Structure 1
Amino acid sequence: MRFVTQPLALLSLVFSVASYAETDFLLRGTWALKENTQSFQDFGQNHQRFEGDTFHLSQAVISSNQRLFDDWTLSGVLNAYSDGEERLNISQLYLRYRPLSASSIKPEVKVGAFYPAISAENTDFGWLSPHFLTNSAINSWIGEELRIGGIEFSFRQNGRQVRSNWSWKVLASLFKGNDSTGTLISWRGFALHDRQSLYNDRLNFLPIPGVIDEDRLDAPAWTEPFREIDNRFGYYFGAHVAYKRSAEMRYYYYDNNADANAVDPDRIYAWHTRFHSLTLRYMYNPIFTVFSQLLVGDTLMGESIVDNDFNSGFVAAVYSMTPYTLAARADWYQVNDDDNYALDPNGSSGRAFTISAGRNISEHFSLTAEWQINSGTQQNLRFFQDSEHFTEHLFQLALTATF
């Protein structure tokens, strides 16, 4: 069942502003130039978020942190877009408990709706990337289908407190509301964009005959990413290790523990999805940083009706010398179809390359230009065009205001 969160989101916004919480604002307008093919958001075959060569409100974000007590903080992120099904709502809302402790090992608890700290690139407030307009294939998918509705426990130690060059953190989580995770990378494939799914959101994809036909799977050509279907808890655990402030590695294992045979009255299926994620970051000096991420997993729906392995990775480099920033990223991704259901081919693979150049115009305004090419194959495209191959070019020019 879809639940109403806009009143809660707006109430949180009013509360945060009225109480002078620590609040960040971002507004981004983007002019996008792309091929004249329909976006997946409008049931098309293009893997980009925007429809047409025009101006878009690509990001409007209010991120707020309100200290309730010495140990408790309420955090929330409100997003607005000019595209998609849900255009105003929250993407995160959670409580964080950090008790004061004399020990060098500090506990922390998060409760609510939030992202696991998997991403190597989405490190800015509101889970935005400070370097790119378009996320990697990995983090585009995480932003679409993955959000934690649950609780996370962690312990951390800062190396400076114990006169060590090494810092670490270990964590584990239980959650619900990720049962449909896996739908998009199976029936649409990986995409590259920066639109995060909001609560109550609905994500569209191509109306594949073997999926939507009543005498076949009889599923809709859309998914609701945070729907609870089987009432089972999923889990993840992970570890962070950092050397000084120059290098960091993060590992996560995620399992939504979904009942792959469960389906709700809207014919939304549960997908049992698991993956390993490894991220690496190295700051060579204050102006040059490289980072990378690797994702390997699998997803299952039904009695092997859909059975896919997937993997993706990227390598990125950022050169930053105020007021200029130059960033480049190479992506690769693949979905392997391991089932025998011929009417629903899920195999896909691709490569993408992105170059981004930005300049800070003033304290509050910046200008960014970005070019991307994304090419590959997707088996189910043969139902809609002559070839399984695709090549997509995207140029964006964005003006960003932050306060």
Structure 2
Amino acid sequence: MSVDLKRTDSPTLHGSKTPVVNFSRRQFVSSTPALLGGASLLSACTREPDPQGYEAVAAQTWRVGAVAGTEGAALSEELVRCATLAPSSHNTQCWKFALEEGAITILPDLSRRCPAVDPDDHHVFVSLGCAAENLIQAASAHGFEAVASFDVMRDAVRLTLAPKPAQASPLFDAIHARQCTRGDYDGKPLSREELVLLERAGTSSGVQMLLWADRPSMERVLDYVVQANTAQMVDPAFVKELKSWIRFNGPDAVRTRDGLYSASTGNPSIPAWLGELAFDWFYTPKSENDKYVRQIRSSAGIAVFVGQADDKAHWVEVGRCYERFALQATALGIRNAFLNQPVEVRSIRPQFAAAIGLNGQRPDLVVRFGRGPALPSSLRRPVKAVLV
């Protein structure tokens, strides 16, 4: 998703603890020799009074919380914390949480919307679905069944909680390690068994997942990624919006606890003024398109998520399915990252849909996957900041 669905996510969508957000094309620089060749010099210029500050905050953000003995308000806040570890577009964390007896409601925070890349708020509601799925998995581990429904009047996801025997799963365990890994993978294929598990996790009665692991199909998707990425990069509104969410160094990432931390894309941590210059110099259609060619060809496969209807309730369901897919991938040691350009550029979306065999349906998310190294973690705002 344009979603670190940036997430970033986070995560983003994430360091030795591996998390998010985010959407792969959110890098401000590709592997440009002129910049990366001087990475050590640029890093040396960074003024970070506490070089461990970012790492310490990231470790706290992605910590594994206690399961036994948590109850009452502390339990509600822990469930919300797990929910916020989900990815969101540009790692904007476009959600708010309302706590009540026996229920938690997730509402859109439209002050954090991205109108250039997401004019109809599609990614906002996909992000709510990702957060809802994390909360459902965490509730089960803490001894509650969380049942999700879409509240049309409030455009919100309501999760009712009922006690049940606690049951932690590999998907719950993966919440604290999941990330959108916006780097190169090892190019090796996955086993048939792994592909089946991913497809099962990413599918529901309201969402279809198309999965390709053959090179001709992946090249076909690559063609549309390049077309759409080029269209976005010559759009001044898109570029300005993306740049506003980039955090060029650890202190800035810690200060805001959101956005796309440059180190999470494999780039050096540098002063903001230098980062803005580097962005303007090196963020070009050619450099970014070359990066996507390399990254897609290093992947084991591509998945496209398609909701049965083009409405907010199904966008939420798409988010839930994607998040299950991402958690299952994490549990298997598989990375993933968004390639959402073909679904974000309105003029290209119908062409892309037709090319992949969809008859009048809207493709919601495009994701590449494969095995590769973790990258540094994205951050999340404190729970208190997202409660209403």
Determine if the TM-score, normalized by the shorter chain, exceeds 0.5: no
**Structure with higher strand content:** 1
TM-score range (shorter-chain normalised) is under 0.3
Greater share of residues in helix: 2
The TM-score normalised by the length of structure 2 is 0.26
Task: Kindly name which structure, 1 or 2, has the bigger radius of gyration based on alpha carbons.
Answer: 1
Give the alignment's TM-score, normalised by structure 1. 0.26
